[in-house]
Structure 1
Amino acid sequence: MDIASWLLNLLLGAALGTLGGLFGIGGGLVAIPALGVLFGLDQQLAQGTALVMVVPNVVLALWRYHQHNPINRRYALALGLSGLGSAWLASLLALQLEARSMRLAFVGFLLALAAFNLWRLYRQLPDGGQQLRHPWPWLIPLGAASGLLGGLFAVGSAVLATPSLTAIFGLSQVLAQGLSLALALPATSVTLLTYAVHGEVDWALGIPLAIGGLASISWGVKLAHALPDRRLRQLFCGFLLACALLLGFRV
């Protein structure tokens, strides 16, 4: 890879990192469609390469969110530990599936998630708060289900957990995004390890993306805390739809 390509990948990583910080997802949700469209990677290789950027971005974003709103350790452990095993099993399954089928499933996942978020946005729901609406052990099945999607699609854990934590558990959008990152960290780490062992990671492409993302993700986190809760949800819905359309052109 020449210097110009490396710098372009660095800038792309910076853009993806900003979005990852804004929505509390580490940037992988848009990195996977971008890698498929811009670089022609198949679905599994795009997911594995995106995780090189996602894992360090999640670490930094989690720390930044915790600085603004301290994350409850009990809640974080309930989500993170329950999601770890299911993410590992799902990542093994993902590596056995046909690439086109995986891409179709990923587009369907994004559209379903966007529809759920639109319903949540325009339905009159109570404002999110600081405390869980249900007892914390109910976070365990949420973590397991989210980890399953995270292992299968390399990004699903946070994007499922965030709307669930707001709509079902009654947390504010910002608190939900921070807690979702605590779930995403172990799930994405074990998924990256699984993909790497099976040779589904382009390290030369993923490393500059990771460096660019680390340099910019704090800006996204700062912007997330500056935006009104409803506006942040609207942006998240638009973001999901845009990613689904972008990747749909490659199916």
Structure 2
Amino acid sequence: MTLFDFALNLLLGLALGTLGGLFGIGGGLIAIPALGVLFDLDQQLAQGTALVMVVPNVLLALWRYHQRNRINPRHALALALSGLLFALLGAAWAVTLEAERMRLGFVVFLLVLALYNLSRLYWRPAPALTHLRYPWPWLGVLGSGAGLLGGLFGVGGAVLAVPVLTGLFGTTQVVAQGLSLALAAPSTGVTLATYALHGHVDWLLGLPLALGGLLSISWGVKLAHALPEQVLRGLFTVFLLLCALLLGLKT
């Protein structure tokens, strides 16, 4: 890798890190289609390489969210432990699948999630609660499903957890994004280890992305706390549709 290539990858990491902090997803969701389109990586290699950036980004973003809006440790632990166990299963499954089928499945997943978020923009917004609408052990069910999808698609399950936490559990968007990072932190780590053991990680490409993400993710977190709830939710929906479009171009 030349110095010029390193600089370009660092700039890409800066952009991805900002988006990751803004939406509470560590940047992996946009990194995967970007790596597939810009670097022609297959789906598993794109997901594994994106995780090199995602893991440190998620940890830093989690800390930043916790500083600004304290995360309930019991809620975070319920999500993290269940997510970790099922992420192991999802990652082990992912490395055995055909790359093109994986990509198509990821596109469908993003479209369904985007349509759900789009529909919520037209619902009458329910007041955010100071407590969970359902007892906290139900977070383990959410963590299990999100962890499985996170291990399978390499995005830590955060993209699924955010709309479920706001829509079903009654949290605000910012609280949901903080809890989704608590879910993603351990599951992305074990998913990265699984992908690396099977040779699905380009470390030379992933490390400058990770460095750029670490430098910029705090900007995204700060912006997330400054934007109105509906604006943040609308941007997240557009973001999901863009990712699906980029990946759809490669299928």
Q: Which residue of 2 aligns with 1:8?
A: 8
Q: Is the aligned partner of 1:180 residue 2:208?
A: no
**Could you tell me whether the CA contact under 8 Å between 2:156 and 2:188 is conserved in 1?**
no
**Could you tell me whether the CA contact under 8 Å between 1:25 and 1:181 is conserved in 2?**
yes
Looking at structure 1, the residues matched to 237 and 156 of structure 2 have their Cα atoms a distance apart, in angstroms, of 15
Counterpart amino acid of residue 63 in structure 2: W
Q: Which residue of 2 aligns with 1:212?
A: 212
**Could you tell me whether the CA contact under 8 Å between 2:162 and 2:176 is conserved in 1?**
yes
Looking at structure 1, the residues matched to 232 and 125 of structure 2 have their Cα atoms a distance apart, in angstroms, of 16
- Deviation at 1:131? 1.7
The secondary structure found in structure 2 opposite 1:87 is helix
The secondary structure found in structure 1 opposite 2:157 is helix
- Deviation at 1:120? 1.6
Q: Is the aligned partner of 1:227 residue 2:227?
A: yes
The gaps in structure 2 that reach 5 residues or longer are: none
- Counterparts in 2 of 1:104-183, with a 5 A limit? 104-155=104-155, 157-183=157-183
- Bigger shift: 135-144 or 114-123? 114-123
- Deviation at 1:156? 5.1
**Could you tell me whether the CA contact under 8 Å between 2:25 and 2:159 is conserved in 1?**
yes
Q: Which residue of 2 aligns with 1:47?
A: 47
Counterpart amino acid of residue 151 in structure 1: G
Q: Which residue of 1 aligns with 2:81?
A: 81
Looking at structure 2, the residues matched to 120 and 155 of structure 1 have their Cα atoms a distance apart, in angstroms, of 22
**Could you tell me whether the CA contact under 8 Å between 1:125 and 1:167 is conserved in 2?**
no
Counterpart amino acid of residue 81 in structure 2: L
The secondary structure found in structure 2 opposite 1:169 is coil
Identity %: 70
Q: Which residue of 2 aligns with 1:35?
A: 35
Looking at structure 2, the residues matched to 130 and 215 of structure 1 have their Cα atoms a distance apart, in angstroms, of 32
The secondary structure found in structure 2 opposite 1:232 is helix
Looking at structure 1, the residues matched to 212 and 127 of structure 2 have their Cα atoms a distance apart, in angstroms, of 35
TM-score by length of 1: 0.99
Q: Is the aligned partner of 1:100 residue 2:104?
A: no
Looking at structure 2, the residues matched to 98 and 206 of structure 1 have their Cα atoms a distance apart, in angstroms, of 22
Counterpart amino acid of residue 31 in structure 1: A
Looking at structure 1, the residues matched to 130 and 160 of structure 2 have their Cα atoms a distance apart, in angstroms, of 19
1:34-67: CA deviation from partner (whole Å, max 9, x where unpaired) = 0000000000000000000000000000000000
Q: Is the aligned partner of 1:201 residue 2:201?
A: yes
Looking at structure 2, the residues matched to 156 and 73 of structure 1 have their Cα atoms a distance apart, in angstroms, of 19
TM-score by length of 2: 0.99
Looking at structure 1, the residues matched to 172 and 127 of structure 2 have their Cα atoms a distance apart, in angstroms, of 7
Looking at structure 1, the residues matched to 219 and 135 of structure 2 have their Cα atoms a distance apart, in angstroms, of 33
- Counterparts in 2 of 1:11-22, with a 5 A limit? 11-22=11-22
- Deviation at 1:119? 1.4
The secondary structure found in structure 1 opposite 2:121 is helix
The number of equivalent residue pairs is 251
Counterpart amino acid of residue 138 in structure 2: W
Counterpart amino acid of residue 247 in structure 1: L
Looking at structure 2, the residues matched to 121 and 77 of structure 1 have their Cα atoms a distance apart, in angstroms, of 30
Q: Which residue of 2 aligns with 1:63?
A: 63
**Could you tell me whether the CA contact under 8 Å between 2:91 and 2:152 is conserved in 1?**
yes
Looking at structure 2, the residues matched to 127 and 112 of structure 1 have their Cα atoms a distance apart, in angstroms, of 25
RMSD of aligned C-alpha atoms?
0.7
- Deviation at 1:192? 0.3
Looking at structure 1, the residues matched to 150 and 247 of structure 2 have their Cα atoms a distance apart, in angstroms, of 18
- Deviation at 1:123? 1.3
The secondary structure found in structure 2 opposite 1:122 is coil
Looking at structure 2, the residues matched to 192 and 73 of structure 1 have their Cα atoms a distance apart, in angstroms, of 24
